[in-house]
Structure 1
Amino acid sequence: MKRTIGTILTSMGIIFILFACIAFMSDKAVLGFTLTKWETLVPFIVGALFLFVGVGMLNKVAD
């Protein structure tokens, strides 16, 4: 169960970070969202949080 949740959180973290990076680099709308440079900080922080929590959960799971 922890392995599945850890994998999901890690995947979501990567997706959020990639979205934030693409939105930061783009001047146009990304997936229908128009974000300023400062607004891209929110999905980046959420993605980093999900990524670190997911990786932490995967590290604690014993095989």
Structure 2
Amino acid sequence: MKNVEMSVDGNILTIRVDLTKEFGPSSSGKTIIIASSEGNQSVPGKEAVKVGLNVYKKK
């Protein structure tokens, strides 16, 4: 994962993303990638639960 931290406290999933980071243009070139789970990832401690996340901004 790029710039994504996940944690679970009881039944609450928290996702942290630093909005000041950038990882360059998307494959289409229309947006700038800020964070990505790079596909579906399991939630820590809850392997059956998946998260797919993309955070981006317009160029």
Q: What TM bracket, shorter-length normalisation?
A: under 0.3
Q: Which has the higher contact order (CA 8 A, sep 6+)?
A: 1
TM-score, normalising length from structure 2? Answer: 0.25
Relative to its length, the structure with more strand (as a share) is: 2
